[in-house]
């Protein structure tokens, strides 16, 4: 077990903390469940960790927009701690509701100053409702994202009602695209790699009709990353959607989603210890 320490946030309706802790542990780190109020009241401090993970869930029931109220708790209640953490070159991931939190609090797609200004959002899926289905993701090989290095494609479940990435300034989209911040997009699994494109793919290949098929983005440094799908839910081969068809007995082992967490723990071991 390495000395890489991961703070996995919990409380107020976050509900994927168990598996999020498990995947970091499987990747060799030490994961600690950290109730947000323990950071607010000073009982614990983000300074003691190398990685912060905001897991999926339904913080505050998704009322007033998913991730909004939790984002406000972090933006107003933990502003200095969060900015210090990011500016000191540490790693942050937000998954699903955690991604929504990071976008609504302005940490993603973010800016060099870590100004915590919201520039994008996650709208209701065009289907109008929550869905749980598997999707195929393709990763941008030119992205600065630490979390996605070397990954080409990955099959993961999406489980959300509000995952359609939008912004009110389309020029920003071009800028994020050029800087490699549009790190991961939905892709048609029957095509050859690489083939991700800006044209919105048909439902359900794009489960939410996200602009430019965006499934996740990183900040300009590549240290902060968030995505709507759940790589932590594909930590073992027997959790795949079609494993009974495509995994032979004897070939069982780590699932496709683990690559993301291994990237982060390896980076932290090499750069943050």
Partner 1 sequence: MGTDTPVFSFEVTTRDLAGLPDARGDSVKSMLASNYNLNVQSVRVILGYQVRAKLSTEESERTVYDLFADPVMEQGSVNTRLLDDSTIFPVPPQIVIQAGFKPGVTDNAGQAGLDGLLTLFPHLTPDSAVATTRTYAFWGLPDNTSADWLAGKLHNPMIERASISDQVDCEKSVWPSLDFPHQPALDQTAPAIVDLEISDNELIEISETGLLALNLNEMKAIQSHYRDPLVRKAREQLGLPPNAPTDAELECLAQTWSEHCSHKIFAAKIHHKDTETGEASTIDSLFKTHIMKPTLDIQNEVDWLLSIFHDNSGVIAWNKDWSLCMKAETHNSPSALDPFGGAMTGIVGVNRDILGTGLGARPIANTDVFCFGPPNYSEKIPEGLFHPSRVMRGVHAGVRAGGNESGIPTVNGAIIFDDRYLGKPLVYCGTVGIMPRRLPDGRESHDKTPTPGDVVYMVGGRVGSDGIHGATFSSLELTEESPSSAVQIGDPITQKKMIDMILEARDEGLIQVITDNGAGGLSSSVGEMAELTGGADLDLAVVPLKQAGLSPWEILVSESQERMTVGVRPDDCAAFEALAALHEVEATVVGTFTDSGAFVVRMGENVVAHLPIEFLHEGCPQLDLESEWTPPEHEPISFPNTDALGMGELLTMMMARPNVASKEWWVRSYDHEVIAQSVIKPFCGVNHDAPGDAAVIAPIQGQTQGAVISNGIVPRYSDIDAYAMAAASIDEALRNAVCVGVDLDLIAGLDNFCWPDPVESAKTPDGRYKLAQLVRANRALDDVCRAYNLPCISGKDSMKNDATLHGEKISIPPTILFSLIGNHSDVRKAVSSDFKSVGDRVYLCGESHQELGASELSYMLREQIDGVSGIGGRVPEIDAERNLAMYRALTAAMGEGLIASAHDCSDGGLAAAVAECCFGADAGANIDVSKIMGDCTEINSWGALFGESLGRIIVSVEPQHCAAFEAAMNGHACYSLGDVEVGDQISISNGDEAILIASMSSLRAAWKGALEGGGPQ
Residue numbers 118-147 binding partner 1 by CB under 8 A: 118-121, 123-134
Applying CB under 8 A, among 29, 52, 145, 233 the residue interacting with partner 1 is 233
Applying CB under 8 A, among 48, 152, 178, 203 the residue interacting with partner 1 is 203
| Cβ proximity to partner 1, 35 vs 153, nearer residue | 35
Q: Please work out the total of residues on this chain that contact partner 1, with binding judged by CB under 8 A.
A: 72
Please report which helix (H) or strand (E) contains residue 123, including its range. Answer: strand 121-123
How many angstroms separate the CA atoms of 199 and 75, rounded? 33
User: Active site residue: 96, 138, 160, 218, which one?
Assistant: 96
Q: Which of 62, 121, 52 is nearest to 92 (CA)?
A: 52
How many angstroms separate the CA atoms of 76 and 262, rounded? 31
Tell me which residues in 37-66 interact with partner 1 (CB under 8 A). 37-38, 41, 56-58, 60-65
Please report which helix (H) or strand (E) contains residue 76, including its range. Answer: helix 68-77
Those residues with Cβ within 8 angstroms of residue 33's Cβ, 6 or more apart along the chain or in another chain:
8, 10, 17, 21
Applying CB under 8 A, among 30, 72, 197, 221 the residue interacting with partner 1 is 72
Question: Nearest-5° angle of CA 239, CA 212, CA 100?
Answer: 60
Q: Does 185 bind partner 1 (CB under 8 A)?
A: no
Give the chain's end-to-end CA distance (angstroms, integer): 13
Q: Which of 11, 175, 28 is nearest to 101 (CA)?
A: 11
Q: Which of 54, 66, 56, 53 is nearest to 15 (CA)?
A: 56
Q: Does 83 bind partner 1 (CB under 8 A)?
A: no
Measured from the CB of residue 183, what is the shortest distance to partner 1 in angstroms? 20
Applying CB under 8 A, among 32, 44, 166, 272 the residue interacting with partner 1 is 166
Applying CB under 8 A, among 235, 260, 261, 264 the residue interacting with partner 1 is 235
Those residues with Cβ within 8 angstroms of residue 77's Cβ, 6 or more apart along the chain or in another chain:
36, 40
Is 251 labeled as catalytic in the residue annotation? no
Q: Does 167 bind partner 1 (CB under 8 A)?
A: yes
Measured from the CB of residue 20, what is the shortest distance to partner 1 in angstroms? 9
Is 230 labeled as catalytic in the residue annotation? yes
Applying CB under 8 A, among 171, 199, 249, 270 the residue interacting with partner 1 is 249
Please report which helix (H) or strand (E) contains residue 146, including its range. Answer: none
The stretch near partner 1 (CB under 8 A) out of 45-53, 138-146, 166-174, 180-188 is 166-174
Catalytic residues: 96, 230, 232
């Amino acid at each position: 077990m390495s000395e890489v320490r991961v703070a996995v946030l919990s409380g107020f309706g976050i509900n994927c903390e168990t598996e999020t802790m498990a995947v970091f542990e499987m990747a060799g780190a030490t994961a600690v469940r950290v109730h947000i109020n323990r950071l607010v009241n000073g009982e614990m401090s983000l300074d003691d960790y190398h990685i912060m993970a905001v897991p999926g869930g339904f913080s505050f029931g998704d009322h007033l927009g998913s991730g909004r109220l939790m984002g406000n708790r972090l933006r107003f209640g933990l502003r200095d701690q969060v900015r210090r953490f990011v500016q000191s070159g540490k790693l942050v991931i937000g998954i699903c509701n955690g991604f929504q939190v990071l976008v609504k609090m302005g940490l993603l797609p973010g800016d060099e100053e870590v100004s915590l200004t919201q520039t994008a959002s996650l709208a209701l899926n065009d289907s109008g409702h929550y869905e749980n289905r598997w999707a195929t993701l393709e990763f941008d090989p030119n992205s600065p994202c630490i979390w996605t290095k070397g990954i080409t494609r990955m099959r993961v479940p999406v489980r959300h009602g509000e995952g359609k990435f939008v912004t009110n300034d389309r020029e920003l989209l071009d800028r994020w695209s050029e800087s490699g911040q549009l790190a991961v997009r939905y892709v048609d699994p029957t095509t050859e790699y690489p083939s991700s494109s800006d044209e919105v793919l048909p439902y359900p290949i794009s489960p939410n009709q996200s602009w430019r098929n965006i499934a996740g983005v990183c900040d300009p440094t590549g240290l902060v990353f968030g995505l709507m799908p759940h790589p932590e839910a594909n930590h073992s081969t027997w959790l795949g959607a079609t494993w009974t068809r495509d995994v032979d007995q004897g070939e069982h082992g780590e699932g496709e989603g683990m690559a993301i967490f291994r990237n982060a723990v390896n980076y932290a071991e090499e750069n943050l210890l």
